[in-house]
Each structure stands twice: as C-alpha cells, then as structure tokens.
Structure 1
Amino acid sequence: MCSPRIVRIAHETTTESARSSRRTWLGAAGLGALAAVAGGGMARAVLVPATGVVDLTHTLSPELPVWPGNPAFAMVQVAWHENGGFGQNAVGYWEHTGTHVDAPVHRVRGAASVERIAAEDLVAPLVVIDISARADMNPDATLDISDIEKWEGRHGRIPERALVAMYSGWERRLVNPGSFLNLDGQGRPHAPGFAGEAAEFLVTQRNIVAAGVDTLSLDQAATGEYRAHSAILGAGRYGVEMLANLGRVPAVGATVVVGAPKHAGGTGGPCRVLALS
C-alpha cells in the first residue's frame, strides 16, 4: 500500500506535468515510488474455447502473485484526458513479473539478453504435457522424462524447435494468491516444475526452442539447484513462466506466438502469448 503522501505527490506532480511536460513526473518522483502503489482488482485470464486464438497470458495487476521478495506490479496515472486530452499511466515492475520470458542471460552471465532472441524462435509448435493430476496430489511434482515418453506414446515425437509447456493446473489456485505461492513455514514456495533431467533431455534430444510453465518457475519451486533453468537457458533457449489457459489448448497441433519484450540487455520481461489452433 502507498502512503497518502506518495499519492498526493504523484497527483500534484503529474498535474503540473500536464501543464508543462509529461516527462517531469518520472524525473521528479522516479519509478522507485511505483513499487508501493497498489489498487484495483486482479483481472483473471479469460477462459476461451480450444479452437482459434487462445490467450495464454495473465493480466498484470498489483494482486497477481510474484516470486517471494519481488515487488508487485504497480501503475499510477500520470496524465489525464481533462488536462491535455490524453490519458497515460506510469508502470513499475521487475522483469520477471506475470506471464514473462526468461532470456538465457537470466541464468547465464554473458548469454543472450531478451532483445537477442531470434524472432523466428518466438513462433513455434506448441506441445502441452499435462501433469495436473499428479500436481493436485503433490505440489512438488516434476515433469519427468517418463511424462515425455508417455506423451510421445500418445501423440508421436515432439516436433523440432517446439515450445514444450508443462500444464499443472496451478492457475486454479489464483482464487487464493497465498495458495498459488504455497509458502511453507520457512517461507519457501512449493509448486511443480521441470525436472533437471527432463529439461536436459528436451534440449539435447528433442531440440526444443523454449520451455514454458503455468507456475512461477521452470524448476520445481522449492529446489535450490535450478537445474531446469540451467539446462534450458544454458543451452541458449528461452523460458516462459506463469502461462495461462494451457488446459484450453490441445496437447499438440497448436502454434504459439510469444510477444517478447525487446529492451537492450534485458534478462526477460512480461509478454503476451497466444496459441493458434
């Protein structure tokens, strides 16, 4: 929550900005103050049919869960239609907020940053591997090589240069953000992810272009080793975390379009992800 003083300063400064320059507020207040701003209800991902275009993106809002210790998404109005004819907001968030891309440099120093992800790699065959039944019973479940083998037994070999997504059904917990984070008594989150061996297999044996999850981490959340991150990002592939609506797309046959951000040196960033089927 923000203090009344921060709200007053933001509004007074931005009113002055409308008279002179829209850039004044950002220079005077800085985006750092935005981390304290909260408000509005969280918009849920819209459930849509499994044909046509499916939005795999959660709507950013201050209530959307983030990795423990990270600040929530924040937004404050800085220009008004009544003063100058245009509305505008300033937004503040860490790169790995909401549905977002992990660029290789997120894990590997000196690796490719987000603007260096090849455009052709942002459009790929979409593979969805469902482990939701096991995740319902065990929040520390992992997508293992056996899950990949079972999937291929039903659907055939994973296509070359695919984005392979783990569907755990975790987004059902968003009705209670605390349940989505699922912290234990020591403050560690518990949620499903890729096993390190499975991530390595997908990179080396199936030549995937990216991996995705409907949780906050490519790895099982409670792990401290981050082997899935290392395998995927270390191989120059990218990740997409906190996907929505994976249960609404087919296991195979859809194409995914990842609208990744493009800021120089970025380790990732919020993105709009669409499945076309």
Structure 2
Amino acid sequence: MPDSLKILTKLLDEARFVDLSPTIEHNMPKWPTHPQIIVDQTITHEHDGYYCQCLVLGEHSGAHVDAPAHIHSDMMKHTIDTYSPNKLFGRAILYDLSQLNAQPGERITAEQILQLEEVMGDRCEPNDIVLLHFGWQKYWTLDQTGKYYSLNEPGLAEDAVKLFAERKVKAVGSDTIACDTPVKAGVEERSYGHFAYWLPNHILIMEMLHQLDQLPTRSYFAALPLKIKNGSGSPIRPIAIIPKDSCKED
C-alpha cells in the first residue's frame, strides 16, 4: 500500500464524521411548489417475500444541491450530471449566523459577515465551501408546524452574496430551505445567489443541511449528488469530516 494511502486511511479512521442530512421521509418539509415526498412500503416480506420501498420526490428534496440549469434557461448545458463527482468535496468554513438572530425576510449584510470573521479569526478563501448556520433546523418538523420552516427564513443582502462570489468559493450551503433567499410568510424576496452571483458563476448552492451546530469553524466537506440526466439538482448525503483534535464536546 502506498504511504500516502496509509496516511489518508489513518486520518479517516481517526476522524469524526458528522451527517449533515435529514432523513428522507413522508411529510418532510419541502419548498411549497415542489412535488410531494412519498416513501411507500410497496414491496413487503409478507406479500412479496422481500422488502423494497418506492420513492417519489423532486430533485430538490431534503439536503440537496442546485445546479445553474435550475434557475437559468441560458445555462441548460450546466445540469448536475455535467459536474465532476468531487465538485462538492473540499475544505469548509462555518459561519455561525444564528448569533445574529436574523428574522424571516431579513437580510444579513457583508458588514455583518466581516464583523463575524473578525470574531472567528478566519475567513473563506478560494475553493472553500461556505456553510451558513442560521439556526433554522429547530423549525424542522414533520407535523403542521413544519410549514413554518418551508415558508420563513432570513437571507443574505446582495453585498454579502457578492462578497462570497468575489472570494471565489466553490459552493455555499445552509440549514434553510432556499439558502440566501429571504422569505416571510411564504413571500420570497430576490435571491442574489441563485440569480446573479453564485449559480451563474458555477458556485453551486446546497440547502436544508442539518447538524451545522455540531461543526467547528473548519472541517472537510463531502457530498455526492445523484448522476441524474439533465438534472436541475439532486438530493445529496453531505458529511463533514473533523479531526478528533478539533471536535466539539458531545
């Protein structure tokens, strides 16, 4: 075995893996106009002699990634299946925006991001994956109250979106349903990430991430989209890999 592979294997064996995805299940929160998510026990041991479920869901269900074709009709060649499998692999930086207590419909500004970086003692760099922790997972439920998660979220101001784009990050993800888009009572404001600065520049957008509160400022992020022909996006199984010496206390 090559020495480099031995080192990599040892590092991974000793690391902590944090699952950043929700469980895909019936009645999970979704964007209001997207297809319903159905998980049906279609084939059962009792009836068929083995077990197999049927899934009905949109490409943007659960933790997922948006490709440029999702929003831009002039970028239909840039569907999720056209990106390299390691597009969503890389060093990640967490921005704990929950401490700003932004409310639905409000926008966090570039000035607030810069102030937070001063406190963090760190900032995103080219090819980093930015993770935005709004503290919104607390609204994720499977009952009627889960509609609040789907219909409300803070977002980012244009200058904040532009700041990340100018630093040439490779992807941005959040624990909200539409990342940088402010939404209040189902009324969405303009998304500068989707329409102007991120997707047009191949900065992919990930949404509905979970357990971001478990992460330190820095981690290694990895997620694989399904290779969907002409996919506007895809569900993903995102993970953060954290060296044991930088793990938060359980």
Give your verdict on TM over 0.5: yes
Residue 66 of structure 2 contacts residue 234 of structure 2 at CA under 8 Å; is this kept in 1?
yes
Alpha-carbon RMSD = 2.2
Matched length: 220
Q: Secondary structure at the match of 1:217?
A: coil
Q: Does residue 59 of the first structure (1) align with residue 15 of the second (2)?
A: no
Q: 1:143 to 1:124 in 2, by over 3 A?
A: farther
For residues 195 and 212 of structure 1, the distance between their equivalents in structure 2, rounded to whole angstroms, comes to 16
How many angstroms does 1:142 deviate by? Answer: 2.7
For residues 147 and 175 of structure 2, the distance between their equivalents in structure 1, rounded to whole angstroms, comes to 12
Q: 1:111 to 1:224 in 2, by over 3 A?
A: farther
How many angstroms does 1:159 deviate by? Answer: 2.6
For residues 114 and 194 of structure 2, the distance between their equivalents in structure 1, rounded to whole angstroms, comes to 21
AA matched with 1:56: L
For residues 44 and 141 of structure 2, the distance between their equivalents in structure 1, rounded to whole angstroms, comes to 33
Q: Does residue 105 of the first structure (1) align with residue 69 of the second (2)?
A: yes
Q: Equivalent residue for 2:206? A: 240
Between the two structures, name the one with larger relative contact order (CA 8 Å, sep ≥ 6): 2
Q: Structure 2 length as normaliser, TM-score?
A: 0.80
Identity of aligned residues (%): 24
Residue 103 of structure 1 contacts residue 113 of structure 1 at CA under 8 Å; is this kept in 2?
yes
For residues 176 and 78 of structure 1, the distance between their equivalents in structure 2, rounded to whole angstroms, comes to 21
Q: Which has the larger radius of gyration?
A: 1
Q: Secondary structure at the match of 2:194?
A: helix
Q: Equivalent residue for 1:158? A: 124
Q: Equivalent residue for 2:114? A: 149
Unaligned residue ranges in structure 1 (runs of 5+): 1-50
Could you list the per-position Cα deviations for residues 10-58 of structure 1 after superposition, in whole angstroms to 9, with x for gaps in the alignment? xxxxxxxxxxxxxxxxxxxxxxxxxxxxxxxxxxxxxxxxx71111001
Q: Secondary structure at the match of 2:112?
A: helix
Could you list the per-position Cα deviations for residues 184-242 of structure 1 after superposition, in whole angstroms to 9, with x for gaps in the alignment? xxxx92201232321222112x1100011111102112434222212211111211100
Residue 80 of structure 2 contacts residue 225 of structure 2 at CA under 8 Å; is this kept in 1?
yes
Could you list the per-position Cα deviations for residues 103-154 of structure 1 after superposition, in whole angstroms to 9, with x for gaps in the alignment? 111111225111112223221111111121333x622233321233123323
Residue 193 of structure 1 contacts residue 213 of structure 1 at CA under 8 Å; is this kept in 2?
no
Q: 1:169 to 1:107 in 2, by over 3 A?
A: same
Q: Secondary structure at the match of 1:63?
A: coil
Q: 1:152 to 1:111 in 2, by over 3 A?
A: farther
For residues 85 and 141 of structure 2, the distance between their equivalents in structure 1, rounded to whole angstroms, comes to 35
Q: Which moved more, 1:78-87 or 1:193-202?
A: 78-87
Residue 108 of structure 2 contacts residue 160 of structure 2 at CA under 8 Å; is this kept in 1?
yes
How many angstroms does 1:179 deviate by? Answer: 4.7
Q: Equivalent residue for 1:275? A: 240
Q: Equivalent residue for 1:132? A: 98
Q: Equivalent residue for 2:60? A: 96
Q: Where does 1:172-183 land on structure 2 (aligned, <5 Å)? A: 172-175=138-141, 178-182=144-148
Q: Secondary structure at the match of 2:228?
A: coil
